[in-house]
Amino acid sequence: MGVFDIIGPVMIGPSSSHTAGAARLGKMARAILGEKPVSAIIGLYGSFARNHKGHGTDKALVAGMLGMSADDTRIKDALILAGLSGMRIAFETRENSDVHPNTAEFNLVGASGRKVRVIGASVGGGRIIITRINDYQVEITGDYNTLIVMYKDEPGIVARITQILARENVNIAFMRVSRRGKGGQAMMILELDQPLPDKALIEINSTSSIESAIMVHML
């Protein structure tokens, strides 16, 4: 157990779960989109749905989408700053007893037209877990540099990517591969001990059958 597990994260209050964790969720959702969102529909579940205004969760989620960290003093003005930047935001209350009570669902659209659906929860002490990206179940905590690769399922793709990482001396801590069906779209999640150099990310994106590769740096 580290010191931050005991005293909590450096943050703007009032709540590590409703503010710090929410800001990290928003920042992670933006990173997964791969660009600044221009519009966002944010579904709120459980305690987030009931208390988001009183605890400033709505501001923290948006602050994260603007790229702010949990200790950024501008969090209190995040909704205003988002409006000034042209970002369109809508909040919706959702009900689902099967999800963590501090869960948010982001439906984001970027300036390029890229879209992504990200679901994650603030699980206490400023910690988060991303549980879904589009139609794929995932487990991403932001505690590692994470490479997210969408690609066409075919023999050799995993080997090509891991060879690039090995050549750059980047070690894989955890790896998960999911697919919709044989020969269909697939997703690879690689949590890394080191950040991936930009040139390696460009090489992966230029690899045949790769739809997209996004590097999400450790939060």
Region 145-216: CATH code: 3.30.70.260
pLDDT at 11 over 50: no
Torsion of Cα atoms, 7 then 11 then 12 then 18, to 10°: -80
Average pLDDT of the chain, as a whole number: 89
pLDDT at site 93: 92
Of 16-25, 47-56, 68-77, 105-114, least confident by mean pLDDT is 47-56
pLDDT score, position 54 = 56
pLDDT tens for 161-210 read 999 999 999 999 999 999 988 989 999 999 999 999 999 999 999 999 99
Contact assessment for residue 65 and residue 118, using Cβ atoms and an 8 Å cutoff: no
Tell me, what's the pLDDT at 173? Answer: 96
- Going from N- to C-terminal start, the domains of the chain cover 3-140, 145-216
For 53-90, how does the pLDDT look when each residue is reduced to its tens digit (9 = 90+)?
656 899 999 999 999 988 899 999 999 999 999 999 99
188-199: burial string, b at 16+ Cβ within 10 Å, e else: bbbbbeebbeee
What is the pTM (predicted TM-score) of this model? 0.85
> Which CATH superfamily includes the segment(s) 3-140?
D-3-phosphoglycerate dehydrogenase; domain 3 (3.30.1330.90)
Question: What DSSP character marks residue 203?
Answer: H
pLDDT of res. 219: 72
